[in-house]
Structure 1
Amino acid sequence: MQRALIIKHVHFEGPGAIATWLDRQGITWEVIEARQVTRWPSPDDFDWLFVMGGPMSARDDGKLPWMREEKRLIRQAIEADRKVVGICLGAQLIASVLGADIHRNSAPEIGWFTITPAPTCPPDIASMFADSPPVLHWHGEGFSLPKGARHLFSSVACTQQGFLLEDRVMGLQCHLECDMETLKGLCEHCADEIVPGTWVDPPHKLMVSEAILVATHQRLYRLLNRLANPPGDNPPVP
């Protein structure tokens, strides 16, 4: 039986729909909170690693010892050929481990804005997002594309919305996993970030229906299914 380790950074940003997908796949899973870990696991303890979001910066490893340890585990998991998935901060942490630049965006992106497949996005993934769906964003920082990775998606406010490396390492800047509990938690605990801006939705637009969240989850499940059963070698990135 496969095992998954989920690292979260704040109590209100848990696995969301990822947990549902894992249960459906028969994959056992465990959640740890990075700031409370006293003994970090090793890649021998899991087959999948999920790294969730949080309000801190992926550049904070110089002052946060736990983040240095977390990055070490992410690096070890990638080197051990594990499936590694990062969401928002998690994607930035993975990108940082892979040598990419982490930077402050010109403007925060908080709300339901569309993403579009990038030119190098694999065709089967591009077809999943060909309708340029609105998805939830909640971030002020971004990342450059890691070397050797395929650029998956972009939005008007943020060029790098996702990447895929070797069909087993994926970073998503947006929150496809977000369920109603997570959405309410973000709106409550990160309310100070919801300030008027070009790419910031007001609270009443952030809170969407359960049906919209479920539709977003279906896209996440298709991406995770692809990681679980990759289509084979992709041609090299130009």
Structure 2
Amino acid sequence: MRVLIFQHTAGEHPASFTDHIAAAGDSAHVVHLYKGEAIPDLALFDAAIVMGGPMDVWEEEAHPWLRPEKRAIAAWVESGRAYLGVCLGHQLLVEAMGGSCAKMAVPEVGVMPMMLTEAGCADAVLSRLPGANVGPVRVMQWHGVEAITLPEGTTLLAENENCPVQAIRVGARAWGVQFHPEITDDLCAYWMTDPGNRAAAIEWLGSAVAADQFAADSAAHVPTALQNSAALYAGLRAAALEG
């Protein structure tokens, strides 16, 4: 299976998804949009994963590649092929399909719980998360924007008090998750090497010390995150092969 990946900044790469793709015997083609790389022929791929980034979904003047990316996402989803959006990739799915996003009053940063909805517990992908049907699922959050208006045909799959739209499915095979399931050892520390990410963390958490502590504390969550990303990729892969 061939997986198309959109990457928006050096610091937020596919991380654990790279290992899951290789372990399944699949191949990945990463498009570094922030470097000006062109979007390839979508017909060459079976599934798409769109990663996060420090930019906001509406910052098209500062990041003009957002416009063709949104068009590509809309075309991909309308074709009925399997899609997984992570954080910014989730927000891009919302906007590309006719919904809207806005800044949060209080950014959501850290390892926090979310609950699957009834639809989420029955979903082909989200229901695979370990413990999804028995209680809260703990996930890594790092975002200051949230989905406000959902596209037509969207199913809400997970929520929490801080951000009511944690995971969605648009149509039959397009999933978006607001959280970061892809983290591996030292990834959050690596994120901090990206100036945009580090500036956002300091602003949201109040100090450089708090931002560095967040990166250090993320290590304890890595085993759970690896289970979550493996489950999500397995579900995405099954959906792609069924399609």
TM-score (norm. length: structure 2): 0.84
Unaligned runs of 5+ in 2: none
The runs of at least 4 consecutive aligned structure 1 residues that moved more than 4 Å come to none
8 Å contact from structure 1 (residues 5, 29) kept in 2: yes
- What CA distance in whole angstroms lies between the structure 2 residues aligned with 1:223 and 1:38? 27
Once the 2 structures are TM-superposed, how far is the Cα of residue 207 of structure 1 from its aligned partner? 2.3
Point out the more displaced range, 96-105 or 55-64.
Answer: 55-64
CA distance in 2, matches of 1:120, 1:222: 17
Q: Does 1:191 align with 2:195?
A: no
**C-alpha distance in structure 1 between counterparts of 2:135 and 2:214, whole Å:** 21
Alignment partner of 1:221 is 2:227: no
Cα distance change of structure 1 residues 28 and 62 upon mapping to structure 2, 3 Å threshold? same
CA distance in structure 2 between the partners assigned to 1:162 and 1:204 by the alignment:
27
Residue-by-residue CA offset, 1:181-233 (whole Å, 9 max, x unaligned): 42112234333323447xxx753244246563122221222222223224xxx
CA distance in 1, matches of 2:147, 2:112: 18
CA distance in 1 between counterparts of 2:102 and 2:116 reads 22
Offset at residue 126 of structure 1 (A) = 4.5
Looking at structure 2, the residues matched to 220 and 150 of structure 1 have their Cα atoms a distance apart, in angstroms, of: 21
> Post-superposition shift, 1:142?
0.8
Which residue matches 1:235? none
Alpha-carbon shift at residue 81 of structure 1 (Å):
2.2
Q: Report the secondary structure of 1:20's partner residue.
A: helix
The letter for the 1-side match of 2:185 is: M
* Cross-structure match for 1:234: none
User: Which runs of structure 2 are paired with 1:105-144 in the superposition (5 Å)?
Assistant: 105-123=104-122, 125-126=126-127, 128=129, 129=132, 130-144=134-148
Which residues in structure 2 correspond to 1:46-61 (within 5 Å)? 46-61=45-60
Structure 2 matches for 1:143-182, cutoff 5 A?
143-144=147-148, 145-182=150-187
Structure 2 Cα separation of the partners of residues 206 and 187 of structure 1:
8
Amino acid at match of 1:219: N
Distance 1:209 1:58 in 2: 25
Structure 1 residue runs of 5 or longer lacking an equivalent are: 231-238
SS in 1 for 2:192: helix
> What CA distance in whole angstroms lies between the structure 2 residues aligned with 1:8 and 1:69?
14
Match of 1:26 in 2: 25
Kindly tell me: are residues 98 and 9 of structure 1, through their superposed partners in 2, closer, same or farther at Cα, counting changes over 3 Å?
A: same
RMSD of the TM alignment (CA)? Answer: 2.3
Q: What's the counterpart of residue 236 of structure 1?
A: none
Tell me: CA distance 1:3–1:179, structure 2 relative to 1, closer, same or farther (3 Å): same
Which moved further from structure 2: 179-188 or 107-116?
179-188
Residues 83 and 169 of structure 1 are in contact (CA less than 8 Å); yes or no, is this contact kept in structure 2? yes
How many angstroms apart in 2 are the aligned matches of 1:147 and 1:17?
Answer: 31
Q: RCO higher in 1 or 2 (8 Å CA, sep ≥ 6)?
A: 2
- Quick one: structure 1 residues 196 and 24, their matched pair in 2 at CA, closer, same or farther if it must change by over 3 Å? closer
Asked if the contact 2:80–2:172 (Cα under 8 Å) also holds between the matched residues in 1, the reply is: no
Task: Give me the whole-angstrom Cα distance separating, in 2, the residues matched to 1:90 and 1:127.
Answer: 20
Aligned amino acid, residue 137 of structure 1: Q
3-state DSSP of counterpart to 1:102: strand
Structure 1 residue aligned with 2:79: 80
After TM superposition, give the deviation of residue 162 of structure 1 in Å.
0.8
TM-score by length of 1: 0.85
